[in-house]
Chains A and B, each alone.
Chain A
Amino acid sequence: MDKTKKPLPSIVWPLAALGLILLFNLIFTDGFFSITIKNGHLFGSLIDILKRCSPTMIMAVAMTYVIATSGIDISIGSILAISGSVAALLVWGGNTSYLSAGADVQPAALFFIIVVPLLVSMVLGAFNGLMVSVVGLQPFIATLILMVAGRGMAQLLTGGKVLNFSHKGFEFVGRGYLLGIPFPFIIAVLVIALAALLTKLTPMGLYIQAVGGNKTASHYSGINTRMVIFLVYIFSGFCAGIAGLILTSDITGADAGFMGLYMELDAILAVVIGGTAMSGGKYNLKGTIVGVLIIQSLTTTILTRGVPPEYTLLVKAVVVLAVLIIQSKRTSDFIEKTTAKVSKAGAA
């Protein structure tokens, strides 16, 4: 009696896109899937994709939740730069005098190099959260403030210079391998696990979607909607902080002016490609993960195929538009109509 077809899960489209890219490489790119072991580390294009996408992955995970509350956080690129700069500064023992003199520096303990930037990032996230939830600013505007000022602050910390360093312990964060796997990717997996735990083992996941879907109804149901929004932005700051540590450690330096520039846009893109609507109310964490992988494997494919890297952006633009149009209501209406017509014609 009930003829309603089960709708395709929303992850199908992004997965298909990823599959297509991988299939393309399977056929046309020699050795794309080969993984070798050198010095106990895994090497290969796939491993490279996993390593490179880690910082974006970590930020996109948090962005998924932010967008699900019908918000947006465009300050994470700047928070990333601040986190990295603080870390670099701590490696140098907290001062930049070494830049002029060859003075001895006493690096801070690794614990502080890791923890202080993360705390700073969370405080910045809390500022965003406060602006959105309590002051009631539009999320875009609220986070625009830190996006603009934050980069300046990062440059202030580093004295406007690129802070290079060498620190065996800290370098492991971005460059190390654990069990042959790139450490950044392990961090990304841990962040995903943490996010999944927080949203599954507490009612947070439910609340985030409830608040994004209908704030009034959530309030009527007793949810502390402000707290939910506040916490989500703190988590976003935290994740940007981790990404900052990875990038800084990987390049053994903090380039406050350019680190993480436009990365917020990549994160948002990954979320949207992954099937989370910008209007909020429902998130798709798996989709986001696939979205990040799509963007990175696209980039890596272009690089390994010897296509000039300048085409990356063009391809990205086309892919984004295609995904957007496929997911649009007009397209689904169109498909519905034509299939209805076809089935009608078939029945007749």
Chain B
Amino acid sequence: MSDNLLEAIGVSKSFPGVKALSNVNLQLGRGEIHGLMGENGAGKSTLIKAITGVYPRDNGQILLDGVEIHPTSPLDAEALGISTVFQEVNLLNNLSVAENLAIGRQPTKKTGTLDWKKMNEDARRILQKFEIDIDVTELLGNYSIAIQQMVAIARALELDSKLLILDEPTSSLNLDEVEKLFKQMRRLKEEGHSIIFVTHFLDQVFEITDKITVLRNGEYVGLFNTADMTKMDLVSKLMGKEIDELHEFEKLSKEQKHKEHQEVLLETEKLGKNGYMAPIDIDIAKGDIVGLGGLLGSGRTEIAKMLFGLVHTDNGGLKIKGIHSKIRSPKQALMNQLALCPEDRKEESIIPDLSVKENIILALQVKQGWFKPLSAKKKEEIAQKYIDLLNIKTPSSEQAIKNLSGGNQQKVIVARWLATNPNVLIVDEPTRGIDVGAKTEIQKLLLKLSGEGMGVLFISSEIEEVVRCSNKVYILQDRKVVNELHDDQINEQQIMHAIAAKGDS
């Protein structure tokens, strides 16, 4: 019998245009709680999905008890003894809590009919372990996400698997609930089960895990003993320092960072929304690249959504070029010369069946209004202009955007917004999940645009790019702006300190 329960050796996985995992390892001992860490796009979920058979891996081995496995679906993995709670709760809101725990293996009476009484009793007993006292006959959908998450975990635990994978299970739990979950995790550990725990909460990792595997950009950073690490160590492992081949590029950005005082393009005054984002005061001036630093869930995207009218703020206001403006919809944001390349390319940006050209001119057309359609010639001109400018690799402007690689899709979306000639460009994770080449191209572009006088709000979970590009960084924690760094203060050490400050202070 092997020492390790699960071992992944050199696992790789590519999607069209993206290398999601490249040569990644994982070693999980018996009775071990193992933290799997990494920023967005680091490949955590892809690795989990490769282990649980959601996707087949391209290369590498996955050994369970020393035997190579090839699960073809999460169900298949479950049969092998690997049960998983995925990030999005995969339960049935239309059924009762008890049924969600039992479905597929419901207790039956001698007659073969369902034994609801026993099912409900079982459910109460199971949830008691989590000290959850709820009406198990009520529909799951009527409970909070936290309860739903706990039910999902309870269901997975009931399978009595050798290995339990929890993908971001705590993101919607409060402290109390997290404690209850940890108690269960410790119990399982004592019983000899192993757990892979994916999270982005540093405190939790240090509290519960024995070992940590860190991934960055689809690559394996290393395996560490939790006890040997400081929080600072972990943050630097997570954020990493890519080997930067582009010294010239660094110079360019350094030159730009020392700028004269410029006209303020966008300024917020205590802009906030209750329970969503604490009031913020930020400003973006001409030629600025303003970075937002903070871990996942700290409020980076929330700021973008407030500025762009996607959520309705309930206090404070904002000024555009010194004039108080109300932005209640993306259309108004657009008319106020704002632009937003959203975080989720698939859900929020691309219109899959439409051509590259149509995707590019979409926002410009909206800005022009219903009665000033762009001529076919003009559309083609604009599309060609940006295809050349941004070096978008596509057979033609007529190609459906869904057939492009992630990086090129992202460029098309940037083009969509550049075409509207914005004063302020908000980019939310513009380089996530795209290859290195496209990444530096996009970074260069942002620098070029700011050099031309555009204000850029740059949201990224990769600290080097923030450092490399920004001349001002706001530090976020828990949906609050907690710090502000300028020009020379902006380096990785400072930012990491500021981000990690919370727990240590």
Please give the residue numbers on chain A whose beta carbons come within 8 Å of chain B beta carbons, in ascending order: 2, 4, 200-204, 206, 209-210, 213-214, 216-224, 281-282
Shortest CB-to-CB span from A197 to chain B, Å, is: 11
Given A203-B373, A219-B330, A221-B363, CB of A214 within 8 Å of CB of B351: yes
Name the B residues within 8 Å of A222 (CB-CB).
329-331, 333-334, 363, 366-367
CA of A4 to CA of B404, assembled, Å: 12
Asked if B155 lies at the interface with its beta carbon under 8 angstroms from chain A, I say no
The A-B contact count (CB < 8 A) is 77
Shortest CB-to-CB span from B152 to chain A, Å, is: 25
Shortest CB-to-CB span from B461 to chain A, Å, is: 20
User: Can you sample 9 A-B contacts with CB below 8 Å?
Assistant: A200-B373, A202-B370, A202-B373, A203-B365, A210-B362, A213-B354, A216-B347, A220-B310, A281-B351
CA of A139 to CA of B289, assembled, Å: 45
6 closest A-B pairs by beta carbon, nearest first, are A222-B366, A222-B331, A213-B351, A222-B334, A282-B353, A281-B353
- Is A203 within 8 A of B370, CB to CB? yes
Name the B residues within 8 Å of A221 (CB-CB).
330, 334, 362-363, 366, 416
Name the A residues within 8 Å of B340 (CB-CB).
220
Most chain A CB neighbours (cut-off 10 Å) among B329, B350, B351, B362: B351
Given A220-B342, A224-B331, CB of A281 within 8 Å of CB of B395: no
Q: Which residue of A lies closest to B374 (CB)?
A: A203
CA of A224 to CA of B328, assembled, Å: 13
Shortest CB-to-CB span from A189 to chain B, Å, is: 23
Interface residues of B in 335-388 (CB under 8 A from A): 340, 342, 347-354, 358, 361-363, 365-368, 370-371, 373-374
Name the B residues within 8 Å of A216 (CB-CB).
347-348
Name the B residues within 8 Å of A213 (CB-CB).
351-354
CA of A202 to CA of B368, assembled, Å: 11
Shortest CB-to-CB span from A49 to chain B, Å, is: 31
Shortest CB-to-CB span from B231 to chain A, Å, is: 36
Q: Mark B423-453, 1 if CB is under 8 A from A, else 0.
A: 0000000000000000000000000000000
CA of A206 to CA of B365, assembled, Å: 9
**Given A210-B358, A214-B351, A221-B366, 15 further pairs, Cβ under 8 A:** A2-B395, A200-B373, A201-B373, A202-B370, A203-B373, A206-B361, A210-B354, A214-B347, A217-B347, A217-B348, A217-B351, A218-B351, A220-B330, A221-B330, A282-B353
Most chain B CB neighbours (cut-off 10 Å) among A2, A202, A213, A282: A213
| Category for how many chain B residues contact A | 20 to 34
- Is A217 within 8 A of B350, CB to CB? yes
Shortest CB-to-CB span from B19 to chain A, Å, is: 20
Q: Which residue of A lies closest to B366 (CB)?
A: A222
Q: Which residue of A lies closest to B395 (CB)?
A: A2
- Is B352 within 8 A of A281, CB to CB? yes
CA of A219 to CA of B330, assembled, Å: 7
Most chain A CB neighbours (cut-off 10 Å) among B334, B362, B363, B395: B362
Shortest CB-to-CB span from B122 to chain A, Å, is: 36
Name the B residues within 8 Å of A219 (CB-CB).
330
Q: Which residue of B lies closest to A209 (CB)?
A: B354
Partner of A220, one of B348, B368, B374: B348
Q: Mark B89-125, 1 if CB is under 8 A from A, else 0.
A: 0000000000000000000000000000000000000
Name the B residues within 8 Å of A200 (CB-CB).
373
Shortest CB-to-CB span from B171 to chain A, Å, is: 21
CA of A306 to CA of B63, assembled, Å: 69
Q: Which residue of B lies closest to A214 (CB)?
A: B351
Q: Which residue of B lies closest to A6 (CB)?
A: B395
Given A4-B395, A220-B342, A221-B366, CB of A209 within 8 Å of CB of B353: yes
Name the A residues within 8 Å of B353 (CB-CB).
209, 213, 281-282
Most chain B CB neighbours (cut-off 10 Å) among A203, A216, A220: A220
CA of A39 to CA of B368, assembled, Å: 52
CA of A202 to CA of B362, assembled, Å: 13
Shortest CB-to-CB span from A287 to chain B, Å, is: 14
CA of A216 to CA of B308, assembled, Å: 14
Name the A residues within 8 Å of B366 (CB-CB).
203, 221-223
CA of A210 to CA of B361, assembled, Å: 12
CA of A210 to CA of B348, assembled, Å: 12
Name the A residues within 8 Å of B333 (CB-CB).
222
CA of A4 to CA of B367, assembled, Å: 35
Most chain B CB neighbours (cut-off 10 Å) among A202, A203, A224: A203
Shortest CB-to-CB span from A209 to chain B, Å, is: 6
Name the A residues within 8 Å of B416 (CB-CB).
221
Given A202-B371, A206-B362, A209-B354, CB of A220 within 8 Å of CB of B349: yes
Name the A residues within 8 Å of B329 (CB-CB).
222
